[in-house]
Structure 1
Amino acid sequence: MIESIILYFQFFTAIPINQSVDQAATKLKKGVIYFPAFAFIYAGIFALFFFLFRNFFSSTIAWSLLIILDILLTRGFHYDALADTADGLLSSKKADEMVRIMKDSAIGANGALILISTILLTFVLGSEFLINYFENEIVFVIAWAASGRSCLPLMFYQLVYVGDNPNGLGSLFLGVSTWKIVASQILTMAFFFLLGWPYLLSYISLLLTMYFYRYFVYHKISGMTGDTMGAAALIGQIIYMLFVLLLFNKN
């Protein structure tokens, strides 16, 4: 368990953990059941920083700093994946050309627009919640930071990898056992239940929505690439915040 979580931090973040793990590729795949633990530990780091920032700044400024921190702590890993995904899937090209576009290091118009929109939406939605429901701000930060990453195992379900490089990073999650994916999501829902029922219901709604994202990608390119999987984390966070705000506004 510990080795798998360490590997996820090394794989998905820029947090320096100088610990070598034997059979890393195997443990990345077999440890998917522990993915929620990684997501919530990562989220706990954000909660700590948010608490520190709030001692000096308003919630809006603290939230802005968290967004920047997310970019820095991942070296833009998911942001780059989202931009590449937008450039490819929104290009109106054939499937093989879409995959080729995703591997182009240059960012296109679609990628730039989706990044701007994502950062803007993250700022607006988060600020909206923190201003109106400030008594729940730490819980919200944890839920936000954990949501997108927690739903990533759904992308591994019966994965068909169509990346340009057959040995690309996304291929590491080929053949993940279905029961491990299901168990990871049950564990995730248990964590969200501890945060409160609106957070749990929002996550369940997110899973249903991300199924359609997965369907959309498969419809476009008949599988997943590392970029389309990585993009799911940011897309998931945006959708999750929308559901949380919807539920809180109804109360």
Structure 2
Amino acid sequence: MNDDSEMMPVQDSRGIRARCMQELRLFFVALQFFSRMTVPRWVGFDPQWLQHALRYFPAVGILVALITALVYIVATLLWPQPVAVLLSTIAGIYLTGAFHEDGFADTCDGFGGGTTPERVLEIMKDSRVGAYGAIGIMLMLLLKVTTLNSLSPPAVVAALLIAHPLSRWMASVLVWRMDYAKMNGKAKPIAQQMSNPEFGIATCIVLLPVLVIGFLTSWIAWEGIVVGALLAGMASFWLARLFQHRIGGYTGDCLGAVQQVAEVAFYLGVLTAIAY
């Protein structure tokens, strides 16, 4: 009897340790897929893991935000604000391998040049960037840099730390609630809908920087956070409706487009709250 009772805590401890290691593995899988940052070799990769790793998409955003914010802070010590903002933006693009920017550009090309669902998907699959994509990504980056440059340094840091995970959470909403629009593509491994508990984990992760910045700092007022989140949500909802109407669901490029639009929409919301 005593032997059995002594074995149970050991088994429970091993089970908890294994569960924690699996969750850590899923985080690294998300980091490996959604960025160009290196991960430990023991992580490995299985396409089936990616579906469950999506719960840590906002966590990848937090890590990207911390690095871009650090680049911005260091750059402000050496150069004017516009240069610091631009260097921070470049750092974010480098860290993610322009993964989301590429998705936004492909979405602009597909929905700008396609008239049928089949044609939209065909254009989005083309690796070449057309006029809609080139103009769209240029204007998106210009709007992002200009908006951040209009904020105070503390507000820039706060906006980065919230917008990156929040915009990725907005993209994960599409996976949670919508169907995948085609049978193959770079997002197919995550094409299965997220479960409610997985989406709950993603939601808790994105709330972390919001609560920390909102309650523990004075870098940005709650009005800015709320208005930014509302504007990001409205933009994401509009895109989701567009995707559903035009192609019957989402693709990997659509997720990238939502991330980019939601990010810049949050910055615009913060600026709106400060200006008025």
Q: Same fold (TM over 0.5)?
A: yes
Is 1:144–2:163 an aligned residue pair?
Answer: yes
For residue 174 of structure 2, what is the aligned residue in structure 1?
A: 155
**Structure 2 residue matching 1:157: 3-state secondary structure:** helix
For residue 194 of structure 2, what is the aligned residue in structure 1?
A: 176
In structure 2, the gaps of 5 or more residues are 1-22, 215-221
User: Which has the bigger relative contact order, CA under 8 A and spacing at least 6?
Assistant: 1
For residue 244 of structure 1, what is the aligned residue in structure 2?
A: 270
Of the structure 1 ranges 181-190 and 62-71, higher mean CA displacement relative to structure 2 is found in 181-190
* Cα offset, 1:158, TM superposition: 3.3
8 Å CA contact retained: 1:151, 1:185? no
User: Structure 2 matches for 1:1-251, cutoff 5 A?
Assistant: 1-21=23-43, 24-129=46-151, 133-163=152-182, 166-173=183-190, 174-196=192-214, 197-198=222-223, 200-201=225-226, 202-250=228-276
Q: Cα RMSD between the aligned structures?
A: 2.0
8 Å CA contact retained: 2:109, 2:132? yes
**Structure 2 residue matching 1:151: 3-state secondary structure:** helix
Q: Which has the larger radius of gyration?
A: 2
8 Å CA contact retained: 2:51, 2:194? yes
In structure 1, the gaps of 5 or more residues are none
* Cα offset, 1:220, TM superposition: 0.7
Identity over the aligned pairs, expressed in percent? Answer: 23
Q: Distance in 2 between matches of 1:80 and 1:35?
A: 17
* Cα offset, 1:136, TM superposition: 3.0
* Cα offset, 1:97, TM superposition: 0.7
**Structure 2 residue matching 1:3: 3-state secondary structure:** helix
Equivalent residues, number? 245
Deviation >6 Å, runs of 4+: none
* Cα offset, 1:25, TM superposition: 2.9
Q: Residues 29-55 of structure 1: CA distance to partner in whole angstroms, max 9, x if unpaired? A: 223333322221221111222222122
**Structure 1 residue matching 2:70: 3-state secondary structure:** helix
Of the structure 1 ranges 65-74 and 134-143, higher mean CA displacement relative to structure 2 is found in 134-143
Q: Residues 81-134 of structure 1: CA distance to partner in whole angstroms, max 9, x if unpaired? A: 1111111111241110110010111211111110111111011111111xxx23
Q: Distance in 1 between matches of 2:158 and 2:271?
A: 13
Q: Distance in 2 between matches of 1:188 and 1:70?
A: 18
* Cα offset, 1:183, TM superposition: 4.1
8 Å CA contact retained: 2:58, 2:166? no
8 Å CA contact retained: 1:83, 1:115? yes
Question: TM-score by structure 2 length?
Answer: 0.81
8 Å CA contact retained: 2:104, 2:256? yes
Of the structure 1 ranges 47-56 and 93-102, higher mean CA displacement relative to structure 2 is found in 47-56
* Cα offset, 1:199, TM superposition: 5.1
Q: Distance in 1 between matches of 2:33 and 2:177?
A: 21
* Cα offset, 1:18, TM superposition: 4.1
